[in-house]
Amino acid sequence: MAADSRSPDVAPLFEISDLHVAPAAAPADEILKGVSLTVNRGEVHALMGPNGSGRSTLASTLMGSPEYLTQAGSVAFKGEDITDWGADVRGKAGIFLAFQYPQEIAGISVSQFLRQALSQRRGTDLSVLELRLAITDWLGRLDMDPAFADRFLNEGFSGGEKQRNEILQMAILEPDLAILDETDPGLDIDALRVVANGVNAVRADRPELGVLVITHHQRLLDHLTPDFVHIIVDGRIVESGGPELAKRLETEGLDAWR
């Protein structure tokens, strides 16, 4: 692929072009079959579709998971081809993935994890006091107990606490692109509203943040209004539109797009 001559300030924040992806363990079993998607600064995109359509495969691929093999196409971030970048390099560059099922890490507190991650992101050691003040501020905004910062990462957390912790990480790490992979399963309406309000608070602080929300449900989008909605079926984006497309999907079901 030829080098992109556009400057990083002019190029789209994030651009996926004709992406074909298969499991690394089974290269013949293609999952993504030519996905193209562009996210500009400050935009919120929602990706919706049935189970097995390739939504979470796309999220993992965009974060550089070694479990998936990019067979064709490219991924560009701020005008630079990052198709071959590993997950750690993408994270340091400013791409963040909120996991559907965050892992527990015993013995490492939330604050310790965030200090290490932010130091890696910035390339410099961060003072304990500076980080503590930032965490305390965001815990308040996310309606979380200040003692949360000293708990072991995701250990014994409820589903809502795990997802709010993902949003806390997004707030502290200050990414340029946030990918939210199924942040809403199992959350009651109050927890869902808190998570969505947290995302909106981060966006208010960082208006150029690009967001890709991967979800099954319209209910999250009621609180987190997307600029664009895309429907993916069998590894292909079959339709794109505005927020009204999500409402159509909720009303008509997926049969219209199969």
pLDDT at residue 65, as a whole number:
93
Query: Are the beta carbons of 7 and 14 closer than 8 angstroms?
Result: no
Q: Above 80 in pLDDT, residue 10?
A: no
- Mean predicted lDDT score pLDDT of the chain: 88
Comparing 6-15, 33-42, 149-158, 247-256, the range with the smallest average pLDDT is 6-15
pLDDT at residue 185, as a whole number:
62
Q: Which of 187, 236, 194 shows the shortest CA–CA distance to 216?
A: 187
Average pLDDT estimate for 5-31: 87
Angle between helices 159-173 and 128-141 (to 10 degrees): 130
Sheet of 68-77: strand order equals 32-39, 14-23, 68-77, 80-81
Number of C-beta neighbours around residue 114 at 10 A = 24
Highest mean pLDDT range out of 20-24, 149-153, 200-204?
A: 20-24
Q: Above 80 in pLDDT, residue 258?
A: no
pTM of the model: 0.88
- Could you tell me the pLDDT band of residue 184, with boundaries at 50, 70 and 90? low
Comparing 100-104, 138-142, 240-244, the range with the smallest average pLDDT is 100-104
- Could you tell me the pLDDT band of residue 3, with boundaries at 50, 70 and 90? very low
Query: Are the beta carbons of 200 and 193 closer than 8 angstroms?
Result: no
Q: Above 60 in pLDDT, residue 180?
A: yes
Average pLDDT estimate for 199-221: 90
Q: Above 50 in pLDDT, residue 205?
A: yes
Q: Which CATH number fits domain 14-257: 2.40.50.100, 3.30.70.100, 3.40.50.300, 2.10.109.10?
A: 3.40.50.300
- Could you tell me the pLDDT band of residue 119, with boundaries at 50, 70 and 90? confident
pLDDT at residue 2, as a whole number:
41
